[in-house]
């Protein structure tokens, strides 16, 4: 089974670094360091831009990001949560609605990744 591919764009940036260190110790998670490109791009017949989970901080959720097209986001699980861990939102692939998760600490984050 291929590892779960996770792209993290979390503020403050120190949280991104901490999450990357934690996830790199898990053999079933691959942290994608570069911003994802158009999911339609293929190289050698392989989709190199497949992202399973995208992580945002809640305060950045409403900012538009040109590299995050609706096509890209619809195929990934999107997690957005507060730095304090009291509140989080989850959107499943292909779904338009957000689900609330309270609290949203490290245990909830790991559980969300396990579910994929």
Distance of alpha carbon 91 from alpha carbon 53, whole angstroms: 10
Question: Any idea what the CATH number is for the domain that residue 24 is in?
Answer: 3.40.1010
Considering its fold, how many domains does the chain have in total? Answer: 1
Domain that holds residue 57: 4-40+47-115
Does the model's pTM come out above 0.75?
Answer: yes
The string of pLDDT tens digits covering residues 43-100 is 433 454 588 999 988 875 554 454 555 566 778 999 999 888 888 999 999 888 889 9
How far are the Cα atoms of 36, 51, 57, 114 from residue 41, in angstroms, in the given order? 10, 13, 27, 27
């Amino acid at each position: 089974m291929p590892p779960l591919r996770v792209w993290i764009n979390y503020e403050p940036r120190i949280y991104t670094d901490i999450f990357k260190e934690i996830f790199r110790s898990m053999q079933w998670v691959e942290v994608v360091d570069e911003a994802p490109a158009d999911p339609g791009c293929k190289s050698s017949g392989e989709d190199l831009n497949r992202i399973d989970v995208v992580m945002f901080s809640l305060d950045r959720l409403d900012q538009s990001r040109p590299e995050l097209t609706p096509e890209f986001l619809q195929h990934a699980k999107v997690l957005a949560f507060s730095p304090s861990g009291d509140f989080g939102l989850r959107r499943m692939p292909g779904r338009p609605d957000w689900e609330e998760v309270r609290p949203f600490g490290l245990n909830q984050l790991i559980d969300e990744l396990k579910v994929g």
